[in-house]
């Protein structure tokens, strides 16, 4: 780009902008942009079998659905020096669930069920009770102590989380909890 001479004499020289500016913007050739969202287990860079019949395009998305530390990681297929690869761009928050449940206690014992469909549309078969963290907050007229005595994931077509509780109440002395107690139950998947 040339700078034009505008005024020149023995004591002063003034240069100005060019007569015209030309601006060219090139974002590359037109082509199909990524428009597919894949999901599956494992790192998509090493689990290439997922794309044999349906090759990925630049900007496609892959969401990991295998249990583990990388559950919910979102990858985008990108062009990088040396070729194309899936790059991690986002990790979803852990799966959480909260509900207020009225739990009937009898002689200090109670249990309740939460369908796994409340946590997942299609819960993984290898999900166990050890993968689920539970927090309980009771609401009662007297001070109470509640603990989880057992938790398990039931089998069958309608799998549920079954939680067994033991409860004590302080009303003059410590006694077994009886009657219905409203409990705020918060669950999160811990992998």
**Every domain of the chain and the residues it spans:** 37-91, 96-189
Contact indicator for 151, 98 with CB cutoff of 8 Å = no
Q: What percent of the chain has pLDDT over 90?
A: 42
Most confident of the ranges 46-55, 78-87, 102-111, 114-123: 102-111
Paired with 113 in beta bridges are 162
Quote the mean pLDDT of the chain: 85
Tell whether pTM > 0.85: no
Residue 45's Cα: distance from chain center in Å? 20
How many Å apart are CA 38 and CA 86, to the nearest integer? 12
pLDDT at 144 (0 to 100): 94
The answer to whether residue 148 scores a pLDDT higher than 90 is yes
């Amino acid at each position: 780009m040339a700078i034009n001479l505008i005024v020149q004499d023995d004591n002063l020289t003034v240069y100005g902008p060019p007569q015209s500016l030309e601006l060219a913007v090139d974002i590359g050739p037109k082509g199909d942009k990524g428009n597919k969202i894949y999901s599956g287990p494992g790192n998509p860079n090493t689990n290439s079998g997922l794309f044999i019949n349906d090759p990925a395009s630049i900007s496609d998305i892959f969401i990991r659905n295998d249990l583990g530390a990388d559950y919910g990681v979102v990858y985008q297929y990108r062009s990088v020096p040396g070729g194309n690869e899936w790059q991690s761009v986002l990790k979803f928050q852990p799966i959480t669930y909260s509900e207020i449940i009225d739990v009937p206690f009898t002689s200090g014992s109670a249990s309740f069920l939460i369908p796994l469909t409340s946590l997942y549309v299609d819960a993984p078969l290898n999900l166990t009770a050890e993968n689920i963290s539970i927090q309980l907050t009771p609401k009662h007229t007297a001070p109470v102590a509640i603990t989880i005595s057992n938790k398990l994931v039931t089998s069958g077509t309608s799998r549920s989380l079954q939680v067994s509780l033991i409860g004590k109440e302080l009303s003059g002395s410590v006694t077994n909890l009886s009657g219905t107690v409203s409990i705020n139950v918060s669950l999160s998947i811990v992998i």
